[in-house]
Amino acid sequence: MKIIDSHVHLYPPAVSRDPAAWAAAEGEMHWATLSTRRRRDGRPVQGFPGLDDLLRAMDAASVQRAILQGWYWNRPESCVAQNRFYADCIRAHPDRLSACGAFHPGLGEEGALAEVRRMKAEGFVGLGELSPHSQGYAVDDRIFRAVLTLAGELNFPVTLHVTDPDSRSYPGRVDTPLDDFVRLAGEYPQIHFILAHWGGLLPLRDLTAVTLANVYYDTAASPLLYDSTIWQRFSAAVGAGRILFGSDFPLNLYPKLDSDSAMIRLVDEARGAGLEPAKLDALLEGNAARLFRL
């Protein structure tokens, strides 16, 4: 069985070399707060691995393909730079990597649409990880809407960052009202939305969300948010056909156990969750293959 990790982040060497200095120079302090912070015990929340490190982590976890997800940058220039870096990555490893692109309304309508068309030409498979709430624009922002309309035409799934309303406070945490995602899903039935981090448990809180046929959920950062009963609970409520395996690499998923992202341990957690084999297959590969047309 193949495994697709639908939620992986990677940064250009210029970013990874000295993340804090890069962020200060480029005005990406929100990203720096989330990505360069240390836990109370002094350990960093993540490392800054390169492309080869990612491929090695995938090999160790038997992950055949990773979907690179863009970041919700403060500045349009950072989005464009990461998109071009991702274009290089998927060109170098088309058998292992796919990419979803970053977007910022500061690109302007024409610039944003041109950027999305460029992604399509470069072989990208979707948009994400987007976060209007973190980037400071409304979900009815005109340019965002124009981009969503184009995403629908291009069959681009859209991955959105979701914060659990009940999650504890942490530096850089941004509230993402769940109603906004329900509204978007209703207004764009032609788009497959993937709500990251189990969608903040949206469908467990609001049963009407279960009926949104175009809404999917990924498991990114799961062990940092929920215990391992989440796999069973969520698939019982929503159906395994709506869940995509995602790690949130290079985030350190099990800080008490590992010093790196431990993608392999999350795969083991999924396999050990007691799901029926067909459901596990769908979650680990089939759903992502279908949505991203892989």
The residues that touch Zn ion, with contacts defined as CB under 5 A, are 161, 196
Strands (E) in 131-257, as ranges, are 158-160, 193-195, 215-218, 243-244
The least distance separating Zn ion from the CB of residue 171, rounded to whole angstroms, comes to 15
Q: Are 192 and 157 in contact (CB under 8 A)?
A: yes
Q: Which residues pair with 66 in a beta bridge?
A: 5, 97
Task: For Zn ion, give the closer residue by CB, 130 or 238.
Answer: 130
The least distance separating Zn ion from the CB of residue 249, rounded to whole angstroms, comes to 12
Asked if residue 285 has a cis previous peptide bond (ω within 30° of 0), the answer is: no
The least distance separating Zn ion from the CB of residue 181, rounded to whole angstroms, comes to 13
Which residue's Cβ lies closest to Zn ion? Answer: 161
Task: For Zn ion, give the closer residue by CB, 128 or 203.
Answer: 128
Task: For Zn ion, give the closer residue by CB, 196 or 253.
Answer: 196
Task: For Zn ion, give the closer residue by CB, 165 or 189.
Answer: 165
Residues 6+ apart with CB under 8 A from 233: 204
Task: For Zn ion, give the closer residue by CB, 52 or 166.
Answer: 166
How far, in Å, are 22, 30, 142 from residue 27 at the CA level? 8, 9, 24
Task: Please tell me the distance from the alpha carbon of residue 145 to that of residue 290, in angstroms, as a whole number.
Answer: 24
Rounded to an integer, what is the distance from CA 248 to the centroid of its chain? 7
The least distance separating Zn ion from the CB of residue 197, rounded to whole angstroms, comes to 6
Reported as type and span, the H/E element at residue 153 is: helix 142-153
Task: For Zn ion, give the closer residue by CB, 161 or 279.
Answer: 161
- Residue for token digits 């469908």? 203
Reported as type and span, the H/E element at residue 52 is: helix 51-60
Task: For Zn ion, give the closer residue by CB, 54 or 280.
Answer: 54
In 3-state terms, what secondary structure has residue 122? helix
The least distance separating Zn ion from the CB of residue 136, rounded to whole angstroms, comes to 16
The least distance separating Zn ion from the CB of residue 72, rounded to whole angstroms, comes to 8
Q: Are 176 and 163 in contact (CB under 8 A)?
A: yes
Question: How many residues are there in the chain?
Answer: 294
The least distance separating Zn ion from the CB of residue 204, rounded to whole angstroms, comes to 18
CA geometry: angle at 293 spanning 9 and 215, to 5°? 70
